[in-house]
Amino acid sequence: MHNAPVYAAPALVVARGLTRKFGDLTAVDAVDFDIRPNECVGFLGPNGAGKTTLMRLIYSAIHKTAGELSVFGLTPMQQRKRINARIGVVFQENNLDEELSAAESLEVHALYCGLDHRTARGRIAELLDWLALTPKARSSFRELSGGMVRRLMIARALLNSPELLILDEPTTGLDPQVRHTIWASLRELKRQGMTILLTTHYMEEAQQLSDRVMIMDRGRIVVSGPPNQLIEQHLERYVLQASGLAEAPAVAGDIRHERAGDADYFYSNAEQPLQALYETLPTPYALLRHANLEDVFLKFTGRGLHE
Ligand SMILES: Nc1ncnc2c1ncn2[C@@H]1O[C@H](COP(=O)(O)OP(=O)(O)OP(=O)(O)O)[C@@H](O)[C@H]1O
Ligand SMILES: [Mg+2]
């Protein structure tokens, strides 16, 4: 039995017909969604889909062009200070001051957040420790690895003890070990009650962290829901993917076939017919697996380049 509350808590973020244009380009196109307290929502989408623009609207970096947006029941831009006091942001690009040490970066941000000296000192020590950065506290920025820089960005976003954490591609370019430690930290924050908005290109990241994902394409939310539910709703259970076939074999009616570029995909709810097909394929580049979030992503956003 799930311990869902009897009543639905009010949404922290509400968007209705939210739109942002840059000249002729509609970067965010009439999106609607609610984000509830303690949810982790993952935003997926090809490059240029509008994920960062949507996050920037939420943390009051830019004005909307049309529609409605509220954050904690407040109005972004107009009530930006009150909102941002309660939000932590990890930007897509690292924007730490390269002249400062790790601890100094946090000290400067603590001043900006208006933390008093004592609170700041305690909080900085706690965050450096929690993100395993204490040994690097006085190291200059240049001595930090990519993973340390990202962890430092997360520490900075958490300084003001936010209620809502926005992470724009928190682990892009990081090695698997660092990525897994960051995921563990984010899951711990979620257990403590944090609401998290995350953009990512890593399907596993979205699946590991998100209660719901929203897949965006050309400014629109094309599909949304819990990752496993999306996979069940929109795809067969099994996929056989193969490349290097001169010609795709004819298949029985219980197998659906798609060709994209030089790759063939065979889908079925039963494993056995795909296994039988797998054994006949004259290519070493074949894999039989469960359908996953990436299959959903590609189904809704297409397999071609968007830029
Ligand atoms: N300040 C801006 N001026 C003009 N166009 C912009 C601006 N910011 C974003 N865009 C355009 O809006 C669209 C959405 O960009 P956005 O950065 O939101 O995409 P994204 O989903 O975050 O992409 P990525 O996965 O590459 O980070 C793109 O076509 C981008 O070129
Ligand atoms: Mg982006």
List pLDDT tens digits, range 243-274.
988 888 888 888 999 988 889 999 999 999 99
Dump pLDDT digits (tens) for 203-231: 999 999 999 999 999 999 999 999 999 99
Report the nearest-CA residue for atom 19 of ligand 1. 48
Tell how far the Cα of 293 is from the centroid of ligand 2, in angstroms: 19
d(CA 232, CA 225): 11
Which ligand has the shortest distance to the CA of 53? Answer: 1
Smallest CA-to-CA distance from 148 within 89, 205, 101 is with: 101
Q: State yes or no: pLDDT of 136 exceeds 80.
A: yes
Tell how far the Cα of 47 is from the centroid of ligand 1, in angstroms: 8
Report the nearest-CA residue for atom 27 of ligand 1. 47
Dump pLDDT digits (tens) for 63-112: 999 999 999 999 999 999 999 999 999 999 988 999 999 999 999 999 99
Tell how far the Cα of 15 is from the centroid of ligand 1, in angstroms: 19
Q: How confident is the model at residue 282 (pLDDT cuts 50, 70, 90)?
A: confident
d(CA 88, CA 222): 27
Name, in order, each residue with C-beta under 8 angstroms of 59's C-beta and a sequence gap of 6 or more. Answer: 76, 83, 84, 87, 89, 166
Name, in order, each residue with C-beta under 8 angstroms of 274's C-beta and a sequence gap of 6 or more. Answer: 238, 239, 240, 255, 266, 268, 288
Q: How confident is the model at residue 5 (pLDDT cuts 50, 70, 90)?
A: low
Q: What is the pLDDT of residue 304?
A: 74
Q: What is the pLDDT of residue 3?
A: 58
> Quick one: which atom of ligand 1 is closest to the CA of 53?
18
* 37-65+80-226 CATH pick, 3.90.1150.10, 3.90.180.10, 3.40.640.10, 3.40.50.300: 3.40.50.300
Which amino acid appears at position 256 of this protein? R
Question: Quick one: average pLDDT of 276-290?
Answer: 91
Cβ atoms 179, 146 nearer than 8 A? no
Which ligand has the shortest distance to the CA of 29? Answer: 1
Ligand 1 pocket test: which of 21, 26, 51, 53 has the largest number of ligand atoms within 8 Å of its C-beta? 53
> What end-to-end distance do the CA atoms of the chain give, in Å?
45
Q: State yes or no: pLDDT of 275 exceeds 80.
A: yes
**Structural domain boundaries of the chain?**
37-65+80-226, 236-290
Tell how far the Cα of 220 is from the centroid of ligand 1, in angstroms: 13
Name, in order, each residue with C-beta under 8 angstroms of 29's C-beta and a sequence gap of 6 or more. Answer: 19, 50, 218, 219, 220
Q: What is the pLDDT of residue 214?
A: 98
Q: What is the pLDDT of residue 253?
A: 81
Cβ atoms 53, 220 nearer than 8 A? no
| Tokens read off for 75 | 């109005």
Q: Find the residues whose C-beta lies inside 6 A of ligand 1.
A: 22, 25, 27, 45, 47-53, 92
Q: How confident is the model at residue 4 (pLDDT cuts 50, 70, 90)?
A: low
